[in-house]
Amino acid sequence: MFIDQATIRVKAGDGGKGCIAFRREKFVPKGGPSGGDGGAGGSVWIVASGRLNTLYHLQFQREWKAGRGQHGMGSNCSGYDGDDVTIELPIGSVIRDKATNEVIADLAHEGERILVAKGGRGGWGNQHFATATRQAPRFAQDGNAGDERELFIELKLIADVGLVGLPNAGKSTLISVISAAKPKIADYPFTTLIPNLGVVSADNNETFVVADIPGLIEGAHEGHGLGDRFLRHVERCSVLVHLVDLSANETPDVDAEVVAHELERYSELLANKPRIVCGSKLDSAVPENSEKLRAYAEKNGYDYFEISAVTGDHVRELVRKLARFVRENRLVPELHDAEEAAILQHPAI
């Protein structure tokens, strides 16, 4: 099951209380205070893991609690610190505070470790409060409470190339031809229900990752069809490949405008992302459709390609162009200002 959003509650451990105690030993008539300190509460950490690719595991555990610190003891013995809790998340996860919508972290590297809830400090025992004029303090500190917060986690797949288009535009067929991905392919709309990733090998053993997302229809930003919720998975791409079916009807330019409009309504980041308009199903194209789509691409300043994923016509040329484009424009795996603005624009909470 592909789960790309989750809300969890994290609670760091409270610090243990300091102890009030006095030395009562033979031959030590004025032993003085001997209360130990409380242990620190455990913290909650999040770490990026390459072995996960969805947030499915968070459906079974919505609350994560670290261990509390042990109370201090006599004879100047401090309590044990509470155990930390580590939550593994897929690379590409964006973590936000649900109450404030503040971006806490964007996990972009394997093993990246983020503190999301800090454990409380342990309280001092009464040994710390002895002075020349107060030699028998009968008080100690309580431990501090650990942090507690709700987190909204959103997964954005990390890919170099994003495939977008209307349903049945040929996106799944293309990714199945150029990579080892095996998405469901059929002759009815919305065959693709979840994003698919494929690793494409170009010349000189150069590779890049392609993401295929479910098709968009007019009104997707209002929730029509499958909506636009999967567009987050192509926000990190270096280039979008906009596939348009040349065999469907005689208005491929109108079809292209529909998808372009939905990208604009979703975010300015996607609307301004480099794009290649690609006419698909060339083997069964309607006459004059190629000229109409080419004119649309030239009018908007997009590169234009025509392919047939079934027969393989011009597919390798497209792969080579994408590899070259990715090599020259690949995004560094960090949260850029534009991406952060896009995240804040779509809290999806």
Q: Give the model confidence (pLDDT) of 83-142 as tens digits.
A: 999 999 999 899 999 999 999 999 988 999 999 999 999 999 999 999 988 988 999 999
Q: Give the model confidence (pLDDT) of 251-298 as tens digits.
A: 889 888 999 998 888 888 888 889 999 999 888 888 788 899 999 999
Backbone angles phi, psi at 199, to 5 degrees: -95, 125
End-to-end alpha carbon distance in the chain: 20
Looking at the fold, whether 142 and 191 belong to one and the same domain comes out as no
- Give the pLDDT score at 333: 42
Residue 266 belongs to what domain range? 161-345
Q: Nearest 10 degrees: CA dihedral of 2, 343, 60, 149? A: 180
Q: How confident is the model at residue 150 (pLDDT cuts 50, 70, 90)?
A: very high
Closest CA to 177 of 198, 158, 160, 192: 198
* Domain's final residue, options 96, 127, 155: 155
Looking at the fold, whether 194 and 252 belong to one and the same domain comes out as yes
Looking at the fold, whether 141 and 178 belong to one and the same domain comes out as no
Backbone angles phi, psi at 183, to 5 degrees: -70, 165
Pairing of strands 207-212, 196-201: antiparallel
Question: Residue 25 has which token pair?
Answer: 């030993």
pTM here? Answer: 0.75
DSSP assignments along 72-83, one per residue? PBTTTBPPPPPP
Q: How confident is the model at residue 224 (pLDDT cuts 50, 70, 90)?
A: low
Looking at the fold, whether 109 and 172 belong to one and the same domain comes out as no
Count of domains for the chain: 2
Looking at the fold, whether 179 and 327 belong to one and the same domain comes out as yes
